Amino acid sequence: MRRPKWYYSVVFACLMLSVSTSTWASSYEDGMHAYQNGEYEKASDIFRPLAEQGDVGSQYRLGQMYALGVLGKQDYALAADWFHKAAVQGYALAQADYGVVLIAGFIGNPQASEGAKWIEKSAAQGNLKGRFLLADLLLAGVGVPQDMPRAYKLFFETANEGYTESYVRLCWMYMKGTGVVKDETEGLKWLIIAADAGHPKAIKALEEYSTEITSDQYTEAERLAREWEPKQAQ
């Protein structure tokens, strides 16, 4: 059976798209390999052409490198530019970090409300970092109305999905009685969990705090910490 000419055009286009997508993915993986090995200039050389073609992962990584200053001096203007390019395409991590840049005033006057909007977009996608950052904003009332019950709920949910910084926030809330009934044993439980997860500040705080409490308090908090297990992220 003879096929119409358009059939071969469509098949050729599909093949080319497949090759292009595969090359793009492998190049991004090469960039990530270089990035994770600390070869930042090499990673930048790989990510940049991909980012200029609109690849959100590459745009985000370039923004990260400029924000961290691993390509030389920190450049928050360039970081914000790349974060924004990925954020407007719906990349949740970029939305979260772009929000932080705006709130912190790294590229001008602090823009709390605008930054909070981007963090809310990230959180709405279920991103762990976005949800944690939104909880922080709700706890402090920065860019959004203060809402401690909702902040606690987000910290608790993200802690149960293994987000280490949330362990520390829950510790602080229970220790201070902020937004929850003060419970030093429960707070110590979360501090132990954070320290066990390798959080540097939690490890240091646990060493200092353990000298200020009774052995019974520590034993009970340690038991609670050992019984707790994070749920797998959905």
| 219 domain-assigned | yes
Buried-exposed string 198-207: b where 16+ CB fall within 10 A, e elsewhere = ebeebeebbe
| 234 domain-assigned | yes
| 97 domain-assigned | no
Q: Minimum mean pLDDT among 3-17, 99-113, 148-162, 169-183: which range?
A: 3-17
Give the pLDDT band of residue 6 (cuts 50, 70, 90).
very low
| Beta carbons of 89 and 83 less than 8 angstroms apart | no
| 82 domain-assigned | no
pTM of this structure: 0.85
**Which tens digits make up the pLDDT trace of 93-102?**
999 999 999 9
Number of domains in the chain: 1
What is residue 25's predicted lDDT score, i.e. its pLDDT?
54
Range of the domain at 226: 164-234
| 233 domain-assigned | yes
Q: Minimum mean pLDDT among 13-22, 57-66, 184-193: which range?
A: 13-22
| 61 domain-assigned | no
Alpha-carbon 86 to chain mean position:
14
Contacts of 117 (CB under 8 A, 6+ apart): 99, 143
Residue 6: count other Cβ atoms within 10 Å of its Cβ: 8
| 232 domain-assigned | yes
CA distance 105 to 76: 10
Identify residue 45 by its one-letter amino acid code. D
| 220 domain-assigned | yes
